[in-house]
């Protein structure tokens, strides 16, 4: 590994994931400055000893940067500002972004003598807080070498170099749409089990030890759905977005994944009735409400749909994978 000569790093986006990654880097000895437009997010970071700023220009030219942002469009406006001042070595974008954006940002960075890698992550808040995330990395070999110290700090080496710029985004979106499909299908299956008088927890545990098992049946349903907690930290708005993006990037190259498109539509329906701030595991309330303590949306036991259509500013990264 190339030891960084300068351990100054900016973390852009201090939400659930960005804030946890900033804390991990801080504990690992990096000199962290966090940026976020949210007063509350900056205050939370400051409480654990992280320097913060509400001015993005203040961290331009910082040798290393980690992005944890809600959308590709914000990545597109952020990266040029970071590169406006000389000094950037590597930008690691953990946002679940779009491949065309990452290719463009990688080109901008290379023209400035810097590196940009798309490294969308999986592992949720716990992985971010403990430096045990996994990452899907898209980068040239040169860019990867420049960004490696940051990737190692965030993942402990648990990252896959998928290919060139943008390829990390592609595989992360495919991962998320597969998780989205599994969340819906496991819910429907457990709903059938309950209709036969079988305890959904028993059915989930049995399936999880067999060929139909997955992290969704083994962990997500027992921990977040059947328990009624729905507190994964990843929102309905973000998962519905990712499922749609996965279908979009397929169609851009002439692929027509019919099953995945049907899944994306199912998540758009859940988004419409539950709202973007609902936990993504609440999809179960639309596909199998009988197995969820909260019940179907709009029922006596179910919560009303959210009316706020704006997802949280900092990205909460998926625990799926």
Three-state DSSP at 32 gives strand
SS3 at position 115: strand
Please count the other Cβ atoms lying within 10 Å of the Cβ belonging to residue 2. Answer: 9
Q: Is 218 exposed, middle or buried (0-12, 13-18, 19+ CB in 10 A)?
A: middle
Catalytic residue, candidates 172, 256, 277, 303: 172
Q: How many CA atoms lie within 13 A of 117 on its CB side?
A: 31
Q: In 3-state terms, what secondary structure has residue 64? A: strand
Give Cβ neighbours of residue 144 (< 8 Å, ≥ 6 apart). Answer: 115, 117, 137, 151, 161
Distance CA 92, CA 114 (A): 11
Nearest CA-CA partner of 277 in 321, 233, 245: 233
Give the separation between CA 240 and CA 280, rounded to whole angstroms: 8
Chain centroid to CA 9: 20
Annotation says 256 is catalytic: no
**Among the listed residues 230, 265, 243, the one whose alpha carbon sits nearest the alpha carbon of residue 175:** 243
220: which DSSP letter? I
Q: Which residues are catalytic?
A: 172
């Amino acid at each position: 590994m190339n030891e960084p000569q300068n351990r100054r790093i900016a973390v852009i986006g201090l939400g659930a994931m960005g804030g946890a990654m900033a804390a991990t880097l801080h504990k690992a000895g990096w000199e962290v400055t966090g940026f976020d437009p949210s007063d509350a997010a900056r205050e939370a970071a400051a409480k654990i000893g992280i320097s913060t700023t509400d001015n993005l220009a203040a961290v331009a030219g910082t040798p290393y940067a980690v992005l944890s942002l809600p959308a590709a469009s914000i990545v597109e406006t952020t990266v040029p500002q970071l590169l406006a001042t000389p000094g950037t070595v590597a930008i690691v974008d953990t946002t679940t972004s779009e491949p065309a954006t990452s290719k463009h940002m990688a080109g901008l960075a290379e023209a400035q003598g810097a590196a940009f890698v798309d490294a969308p992550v999986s592992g949720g808040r716990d992985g971010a807080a403990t430096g045990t995330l996994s990452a899907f990395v898209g980068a040239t070999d040169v860019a990867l070498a420049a960004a490696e110290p940051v990737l190692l700090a965030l993942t402990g080496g648990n990252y896959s170099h998928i290919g060139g710029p943008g390829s990390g985004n592609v595989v992360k979106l495919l991962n998320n749409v597969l998780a989205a499909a599994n969340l819906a299908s496991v819910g429907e299956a457990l709903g059938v089990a309950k209709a036969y008088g079988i305890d959904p927890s028993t059915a989930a545990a049995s399936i999880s030890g067999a060929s139909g098992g997955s992290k969704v049946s083994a962990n997500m349903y027992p921990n977040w759905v059947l328990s009624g907690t729905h507190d994964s930290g990843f929102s309905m708005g973000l998962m519905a977005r990712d499922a749609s993006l996965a279908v979009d990037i397929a169609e851009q190259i002439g692929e027509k994944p019919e099953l995945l498109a049907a899944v994306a539509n199912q998540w758009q329906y859940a988004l419409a009735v539950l709202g973007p701030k609902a936990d993504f595991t609440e999809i179960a309330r639309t596909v199998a409400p009988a197995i969820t303590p909260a019940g179907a949306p709009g029922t006596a036991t179910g919560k009303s749909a959210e009316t706020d259509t704006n997802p949280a500013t900092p990205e909460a990264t998926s625990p799926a994978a």
